[in-house]
Amino acid sequence: MGRVAENLRHVRERIALFERKYARERHSVQLIAVSKSQGPERLAEALAAGQRDFGENYLQEALDKQEALRALAPARAGEIRWHFIGPVQSNKTRTIAERFDWVHSVDRLKVARRLGEQRPAARGPLNVLLQLNLSGEASKSGAAPEQAELLAREVAACPGLRLRGLMAIPAAESDFERQRAVFRRLADIGARLRDAGLDDCRELSMGMSADYEAAIAEGATMIRIGTDIFGRRG
Ligand SMILES: *Cc1c(COP(=O)(O)O)cnc(C)c1O
């Protein structure tokens, strides 16, 4: 077994373990393999090991890999669900809307509107998550939590989009209970949005290599894992 396949197996085992440990339903946590800065051969390895959801941060890099994979793994490349997880520049929305299945990083209405308008009708609505900035760091993208409900209503009303939930990238934190506390805030906001009538808002994209146990404990439905699958980025 190659290194990527072995790492994937290990991460999947841990997900199953944490689902049991925190009384989560089996298979309620979806694994997104974050493949930024990895060459297409590494993605092909993950693909051969059964991985179908990939997260990319940089548009041009992602497009190059999508093309390379169609040559490298023609039988499986079409089965990939591509998740855009990086900051969305408004001049890139058309290509993102055409080439991705999910966008985790919607944090303003202008970008949401453009993504919806530019989504090809034949592909069905684009699945989007609202990215919230829970740590209040000025350098981080994400909408302020206080804006979540208003923004969620506006995004949910955009034709061409389906608002599926929330995403956050908390500041690095090594203490497990403090990791949990931040993820709990995102889960609470998600619950509030559903109480307010946004029934579709069920996904919580939270948890990376260093903190996915805490994220699963607090209800993550999508975890975004790079390092633990592909190794340290060079
Ligand atoms: C890079 C990245 C990840 C993966 O981080 P790891 O620590 O390598 O697991 C997850 N989410 C986003 C938005 C990223 O940019």
Helices (H) and strands (E) counted in the chain, each on its own, are: 10, 8
Nearest CA to ligand 1 atom 11: 224
Q: Please tell me the distance between residue 224's alpha carbon and the centre of ligand 1 in angstroms.
A: 6
pLDDT tens digits, one per residue of 101-154:
999 999 999 999 999 999 999 999 999 999 999 987 777 799 999 999 999 999
**Can you give the pLDDT of all 234 residues of the chain as single tens digits?**
789 999 999 999 999 999 999 999 999 999 999 999 999 999 999 999 999 999 999 999 999 999 999 999 999 999 999 999 999 999 999 999 999 999 999 999 999 999 999 999 999 999 999 999 998 777 779 999 999 999 999 999 999 999 999 999 999 999 999 999 999 999 999 999 999 999 999 999 999 999 999 999 999 999 999 999 999 887
142 lines ligand 1 (CB under 6 A): no
E strand map for 92-188: 102-106, 126-132, 161-168
Instruction: Please identify, by atom number, the ligand 1 atom nearest to the C-alpha of residue 210.
Output: 7
225 lines ligand 1 (CB under 6 A): yes
pLDDT of amino acid 171: 92
43 lines ligand 1 (CB under 6 A): no
pLDDT of amino acid 11: 98
Distance CA 178, CA 184 (A): 10
224 lines ligand 1 (CB under 6 A): yes
E strand map for the chain: 30-34, 53-56, 81-84, 102-106, 126-132, 161-168, 203-205, 222-225
Close Cβ partners of 168 (under 8 Å, ≥ 6 residues apart): 131, 132, 133, 134, 142, 182, 183, 186, 205, 206
For a pocket test of ligand 1, which of 83, 102, 224, 233 has the largest count of ligand atoms closer than 8 A to its C-beta?
A: 224
Widest distance between CA atoms in the chain: 48
pTM: 0.97
pLDDT of amino acid 2: 83
pLDDT of amino acid 140: 78
36 lines ligand 1 (CB under 6 A): yes
